[in-house]
Copies of this chain bind each other. A is one copy, B any other.
């Protein structure tokens, strides 16, 4: 391209969009504004040394928690602003839930936007949605195969990472209100909340990325308190993955990975046998090169 420069540089506006995730009460939640209708976003401000620090500072003001983990998701160009093109850079950040500082900000379960992604109780699909989907695919073998590959059925198994592909299939099938922008949106058979512009698409990207990441990098711990029980760890993983896990196997793996260590203390006051409290062995981040420390979703 440097070879082929025929036009001058184009001047663009840059916007940062954040998907800030926390897990509370077994529910993966996302910080939203405008009554759950949009993700927090804002312009790139001058004076920040990098994109991440700007985002990080803002998020920490919001949540009063240090943000352990920030990851860039995707950058895309906005079409519609006529001459001046807009660039949006989206981020995934992990934190723990705190009362939002601004009244219009609130935490929402991400399964409000993607109810079909919660498979912790077997196949709790929105039945109407599935019917609409199969209607769309009637008589079309390729469409039926795609549905099976993404949503399971016909011998195919559910893959929790395909969040974005499932959303895009629903879009294609006309079941996503955002697809029909300036029409008066008819009642759709998909009982999911919609969002501004492509914000729900960005959220789907974030969920997919996080579901993939927790398997090979120990990022879950950013979402937990300093001390936690193995059940809390498991339930946090299950909340993110949208699938329930086999308890004995989960424990076997955690212990095998040597990712956590006992604090010596136990829970009290709850029903049942007290659970040992663990903490994350932060030293593994140095020991292992970050990759390879897999936290697999043993179903």
A67 beta carbon closer than 8 Å to chain B? no
Q: Which residue of B lies closest to A5 (CB)?
A: B42
Q: How far is the CA of A40 from the CA of B291 in the complex (A)?
A: 30
The reply to whether B12 and A14 contact each other, CB–CB distance below 8 Å, is yes
- Copies of this chain per assembly: 2
Check A2–B286 contact: CB distance below 8 A: no
Complex: A105 Cα to B3 Cα, angstroms: 9
Q: Within 8 Å CB of A159, what residues of B?
A: 289, 291-292
Interface of A is mostly: mixed
Task: List residues 107-165 of chain A with CB under 8 A from any CB of chain B.
Answer: 142, 145-146, 149-150, 159, 161-162, 165
Q: Would you call B165 and A4 a contact (CB within 8 A)? A: no
Flag if B72 contacts A149 (CB, 8 Å): no
**A13 on the B face (CB < 8 A):** yes
Known contacts: A11-B13, A58-B4. The answer to whether A162 contacts B43 by CB under 8 A is no
Q: How far is the CA of A33 from the CA of B165 in the complex (A)?
A: 36
- Are A288's CB and B2's CB within 8 A? no
Asked if A44 is at the interface (CB within 8 A of a chain B CB), the reply is: yes
What's the nearest-Cβ distance from chain B to residue A193, in Å?
A: 19
Shortest distance between the CB of A173 and any CB in chain B (Å): 16
A44 in contact with B10 (CB, 8 Å): yes
* Contact call A42/B2, Cβ cutoff below 8 A: yes
In the complex, per-residue mask of A230-273: 1 if CB is within 8 Å of any chain B CB, else 0? 00000000000000000000000000000000000000000000
Out of B7, B74, B79, B165, name the residue touching A49 (CB < 8 Å): B79
A1-B40, A1-B58, A7-B43 given. 9 additional CB < 8 A pairs?
A3-B105, A4-B61, A5-B42, A12-B12, A44-B77, A50-B79, A149-B287, A149-B288, A159-B289
